[in-house]
Chains A and B, each alone.
Chain A
Amino acid sequence: MSKAAEMLPRARIPYGTWGSSYFPAWQTSALAEVNIGQFAGESMNRIMGLRKVPTSEIEYLVIGSTIPWHWKFWNAPLVASCMGHRVPGYHVEQACATGLQAALLGGAEIQAGAHDVVGVLTFDRTSDSPVGVFPERRAHERTQAIADVWDNFGFDPATGNAMITAAGITARKYKVDRRETDDVAYHRHQQYFKAKESCFLNRVLVPLDVLNVQGRPLGRIDDDLGVRKLTHGGLRAMRELDTCVTSGTQTHASDGMACLLITSKEKAQELSPRPEIDIQFVGKTETRTQPSLMPEAPAFAVQKLLDRIGLTMADMAVVKNHNPFAVNDVIFSQLLSYDWRKMNNSGCPLVWGHPQGPTLTRVLIEALEEAVDLGGGYALVFGCAAGDVGIASVLKVS
């Protein structure tokens, strides 16, 4: 393994002090009926309990979400109260990059010496997303009502285009072949179901029982509902919504949460069930590409990051990304000369859905678990975000 400088030398991710809910597709589970901030706080408490980490160890909480939720004004302290532990903290939001950015900011809190144990908790509920009413007297509509998830997906105010349009434009720019995106989607599903059958995902995902207000069972969140087994033929037959984009080659909206701890080195050894495993932040960067070319942005971010830290794709043991469109992976493969079959070995958001805030947190956790399985190495985690942004980070597992 080549050596690279550490980005946040004081910060560590203690192995095994993490977890994620399953990500049921929107409107398919009890999560469609809850205050997702409360659910996230209580779930993190439950997950930390299962991981034998007392939440009283957490000194600070960074939360990440992108969709407004009831009482969001009260921010991380409220979510911490739902966790059963009163600590300060703040909220971070960067569209689909939130899940990775929150973890990096948690690391920055440690690096700054402000705390020794920071909780990172990301969550979102796309189901029944709130409708915001925006009085804007200058606008000819005077007042606009925006359904937070779907109206934003459908319209980038900076370009006037929808997300899906950006995928189509980028696919055309790179002359992506529809058959290849279908192949990517098929392969990604195969990877996911293989990981599921091998019980790999059981180390990441925690079944959670949701109660109604009477305290009776409302539903069990124990599957990535909405994930279907696809066939080549089925993918081929799907109607193209834009160039190389079908319902099978794009992700779907879902609900969920994910969390992990970022700590000092000493605390990592104290809290991790396997203290011999050391997980460090190596580097991070972001790029913004041309208008409506979002799917290429992550590749640029990765290239920029590798240049900055002096590593190559050959140094990466694990490569995993947030890929709302199969187009993303094809373009990444072209730009970085990296076989898309070698990445996303345990599944990816293209398959298991996209609850926005926690998506890249789950990607990160799965990447770290995979790196541990491989005996260590560099893990590259990256993805795109609204605004034609790409984010990438490398972590070292040793």
Chain B
Amino acid sequence: MATALRETTLQTMGLGSVSDILQRGQLPVSQDDLVDRVFGNSGARGSLVISGANGIVGAGKTMQLGSRLQPFDVKVVALDFPGAPDGIGQQYPGLIQAFGREGADRIMRNIIRMNYDGKHLPAELKDLKPRFLLEAIPEILEVKKAHYKIFRDAFPKIEIRSVTSGFPSSELGVGIAHPAFPHQINKVWEVVEPEPSAITQLLWAMGLIPVPVSDHWSFILDVLFCGVTLAGARYHLNNNMPYWKIDKFTRKLLGPNPFRAHDAIGTKGATFLTWSCLHHLNQRYGELFRPTPDMEERKETGQAWYPPNHFRPLVDWSLDGDDYHEFRAWVLGPLFQMTSLMLHEKRGHLSHLNAIGELCAQFRRGIVAVIRDYGPETVVQTVEAYHRLFPAAAGGAWYPNAFDDMGKPEWQQLYVNAEHNGNIGVITISRESYSWEVDRELNRAIDWLKRERIDRVVVTGDFHLSTQMVGADTSEFFPTLKSFDEGYKITSGWSATGRRLHDEFDTSVAFVNGKRCLGGMLELLAHCHYLVSVDDAQLGWPEVTLPVVPGMEGCHWPLRKARPEDWPRLLHMLLTGRSVRAGDAVGWLVDYAGPLEQALRVAWKAANGADHGLPLRNVEADALRGVPTDVRDLPDPDGPGMEIARGAIMQCVQAAAASNLANALTVQAKLAAEFLASAACREGMVGAEHARTMAV
């Protein structure tokens, strides 16, 4: 692949580009090969050892990796002190939920629990041929080093990764694979290693999200999460606001509620990790990172950040005008400054830096996107305002020039990238939910491809950060609850972007490579001339359950591409919110569905114009006649909101289908926007989420 708008995130793991994957019709590495490389060939497999396996991290990762390695007959040794509380046993119910009892038992059978005294490894370990140690023991540097020595003495060729949340690889003397909470299910791992290793590529091949980062004290997630916690704690110190209320305002401002998260994880352990991270950063970078006295105290006592149940908060706090501006400076100022440090140190690909906040720290939008939105001038002013409130932070670790490159593609294309080989373009979306930022970036990507004279395009996920496509980011609907105009901006604007995929390319191919493609993302991709999918992907429009009316032309565009006899199926999907397996939707929603490698090849052929054998389902430009006004066998709605939404969706379908293609966009956009501003929407999940997040 010759040209890309910006570096692909796959490249950071030595895995090439999405175009390479499509062009070759296969993934760059295979799970089987990597398991062989890391654990030895089948029949002579070595094992994975997780030390500190009963801790929060160790137990979670024992489950996550154990469930993925069990089919390959890789034994997982869970090593811990004899008296350690049983963290692994606690995971069993969750395992049953995910894999069923039989599957859970199979995974648990593959986990071998062993005890040791911290100085001597169990003799039986040798028989299991440890090949890879994932160390998850307490954050004490000397203890960790001694631990590695024991293993290296016994197993000189063993690969070691630490899950540390703070120590750099250069201090530990081993590579780092730092996972994100909740450890059973969060797929993100920040990895530190000189070159992309087989272990990192294996994590990727197993469906996880390794993210290479630089070797500095503490990693991106910790700087962000500990940073936002510290910002809140420092605000409390100066303004008395209780932590529970700081959480609410922080959630409104950015998304996370860090103090609740500490209590949920376990106050003592989580606060110790936060303190430890900040303590080390404070030693290296100065006062910006100094932990507050409350953190010092709570890491020792484990006193929860939230009041106990019998003292649920009684007196509310409000922030108006200047006070809210001051709060913003207290919270955003240090985060912006910390981000300037990470940018200055080139801690990672900007899309990684951005995504980590969203995928691991509850940020509604990643910190880079937030900074981009404010613009360099406002960001610098915010940090300066923070320095007036907390002058000690001005003493170091502040790099205002780090924001100078904000106009470059690395900044401008955080969520959407584009590549091309001179003939075919590939647009990759690395965010699971569609937002205004994705929309703008997608338009810029299309513009770039057009400037590069590319008329054929594949639109797909990025095979890395987005493992599925779940639809619209419903937080974008918050302003629409009170304003038809805001809703109309979304429904008309995002639909227009979808149409560009249809109208501005000779051939556009949507490729669904993840577990599911839902809602607005499916509406977007349905605009492409061809929709190709892996056969077990779930496709659907769950809007009716929220309830909202599909606003990106889902109410008429798929009907215009389908035969009249297939309309009831589409209407059934729209009115029930139920999804359909891609393999079962070929011919009326999907143009091809098959196993990954076959689907990749078909998608590339379709884009290339080669003999792909897929009939083009044209979009009917005239008004559709005979669209059913009633759908049989609909299950009862699950509430009045859904019932109202069904009526609104059917009204939208009828009105949009009765218009010609040119007018249908406006018709649908208006009706969908009207519903976004309706009482039904305000009383539904969007309204409830808005109330929880914004009505602080």
Task: Answer yes or no: do A and B interact.
Answer: yes
Residues on A facing B (Cβ under 8 Å): 34-35, 38-39, 42-43, 45-46, 48-49, 52-56, 82, 84, 208-211, 213, 215, 217
Beyond known contacts A42-B242, A45-B242, A53-B240: 7 more, CB 8 A cutoff: A46-B315, A49-B317, A82-B307, A82-B311, A84-B242, A209-B316, A215-B313
Q: With A213-B312, A215-B312 known to touch, is A46 a contact of B317 (CB < 8 Å)?
A: yes
Interface membership of B27, Cβ < 8 A: no
**Which residues from chain A contact B313 at a C-beta distance below 8 Å?**
42, 211, 215
Q: With A56-B293, A209-B316, A211-B316 known to touch, is A49 a contact of B240 (CB < 8 Å)?
A: yes
**Which residues from chain B contact A42 at a C-beta distance below 8 Å?**
242, 313-315
Could you tell me if A210 and B314 are in contact, using CB atoms closer than 8 angstroms? yes
Q: How many A-B residue pairs have CB under 8 A?
A: 54
Could you tell me if B311 and A38 are in contact, using CB atoms closer than 8 angstroms? yes
Interface membership of B261, Cβ < 8 A: no
Could you tell me if B237 and A208 are in contact, using CB atoms closer than 8 angstroms? no
CB within 8 Å of A: which B299-321 residues: 307, 311-318
**Main secondary structure on A side of the interface with B:** mixed
Interface membership of B239, Cβ < 8 A: yes
> How many residues does chain B have at the interface if contact means C-beta atoms less than 8 Å apart?
17
Give the residue name and chain of the B residue nearest to A52 (CB).
B239
**Which residues from chain A contact B316 at a C-beta distance below 8 Å?**
208-211, 217
**Main secondary structure on B side of the interface with A:** loop
Report which of B239, B293, B307, B312 forms a contact with A49, defined as CB distance below 8 A.
Answer: B239
Could you tell me if B238 and A35 are in contact, using CB atoms closer than 8 angstroms? no
Q: With A56-B293, A209-B318 known to touch, is A46 a contact of B240 (CB < 8 Å)?
A: yes
CA distance A210 to B315 in the complex (A): 5
Chain B nearest CB, measured from A397 CB (Å): 26
Could you tell me if A208 and B315 are in contact, using CB atoms closer than 8 angstroms? yes
Could you tell me if A211 and B314 are in contact, using CB atoms closer than 8 angstroms? yes
Give the residue name and chain of the B residue nearest to A208 (CB).
B315
User: Ordered nearest first, which 9 A-B pairs have the shortest CB separation?
Assistant: A49-B240, A42-B315, A209-B316, A45-B240, A213-B312, A55-B240, A49-B239, A211-B316, A42-B314
**25 residue pairs A–B, Cβ–Cβ below 8 Å:** A38-B311, A39-B314, A42-B313, A42-B315, A43-B315, A45-B240, A45-B242, A46-B240, A46-B315, A46-B317, A49-B239, A49-B241, A49-B317, A52-B239, A54-B238, A54-B240, A55-B240, A82-B311, A84-B240, A210-B314, A210-B316, A211-B312, A211-B314, A211-B315, A211-B316
Could you tell me if B314 and A38 are in contact, using CB atoms closer than 8 angstroms? yes
**Which residues from chain B contact A48 at a C-beta distance below 8 Å?**
240
**Which residues from chain A contact B314 at a C-beta distance below 8 Å?**
34-35, 38-39, 42, 210-211
Residues on B facing A (Cβ under 8 Å): 236-242, 293, 307, 311-318
**Which residues from chain B contact A34 at a C-beta distance below 8 Å?**
314
CA distance A84 to B312 in the complex (A): 13
Could you tell me if B237 and A56 are in contact, using CB atoms closer than 8 angstroms? yes
Chain B nearest CB, measured from A84 CB (Å): 6
Q: With A46-B317, A49-B317, A209-B318 known to touch, is A54 a contact of B239 (CB < 8 Å)?
A: yes
CA distance A217 to B696 in the complex (A): 11
**Which residues from chain A contact B237 at a C-beta distance below 8 Å?**
54, 56
CA distance A48 to B307 in the complex (A): 19
CA distance A209 to B316 in the complex (A): 5
CA distance A39 to B313 in the complex (A): 9
Give the residue name and chain of the A residue nearest to B292 (CB).
A56
**Which residues from chain B contact A56 at a C-beta distance below 8 Å?**
237, 293
Give the residue name and chain of the B residue nearest to A39 (CB).
B314
CA distance A34 to B314 in the complex (A): 8
Chain A nearest CB, measured from B634 CB (Å): 35
CA distance A182 to B224 in the complex (A): 66
CA distance A209 to B319 in the complex (A): 13
Chain B nearest CB, measured from A24 CB (Å): 15
**Which residues from chain A contact B238 at a C-beta distance below 8 Å?**
54
**Which residues from chain A contact B236 at a C-beta distance below 8 Å?**
84
Could you tell me if B240 and A39 are in contact, using CB atoms closer than 8 angstroms? no
**Which residues from chain B contact A54 at a C-beta distance below 8 Å?**
237-240
Chain B nearest CB, measured from A86 CB (Å): 8
Chain B nearest CB, measured from A66 CB (Å): 21
Give the residue name and chain of the B residue nearest to A48 (CB).
B240
Give the residue name and chain of the A residue nearest to B318 (CB).
A209
CA distance A213 to B317 in the complex (A): 15
Chain B nearest CB, measured from A266 CB (Å): 20
**Which residues from chain A contact B242 at a C-beta distance below 8 Å?**
42, 45, 84
**Which residues from chain A contact B239 at a C-beta distance below 8 Å?**
49, 52, 54
**Which residues from chain B contact A49 at a C-beta distance below 8 Å?**
239-241, 317
CA distance A141 to B401 in the complex (A): 83
Give the residue name and chain of the A residue nearest to B313 (CB).
A211
Chain A nearest CB, measured from B31 CB (Å): 47
Chain A nearest CB, measured from B652 CB (Å): 35
**Which residues from chain B contact A38 at a C-beta distance below 8 Å?**
311, 314
**Which residues from chain A contact B311 at a C-beta distance below 8 Å?**
35, 38, 82
Give the residue name and chain of the A residue nearest to B297 (CB).
A86
**Which residues from chain B contact A82 at a C-beta distance below 8 Å?**
307, 311
Chain B nearest CB, measured from A15 CB (Å): 19
Chain A nearest CB, measured from B371 CB (Å): 29
CA distance A38 to B293 in the complex (A): 23
Chain A nearest CB, measured from B235 CB (Å): 10
CA distance A35 to B310 in the complex (A): 10
CA distance A54 to B239 in the complex (A): 6
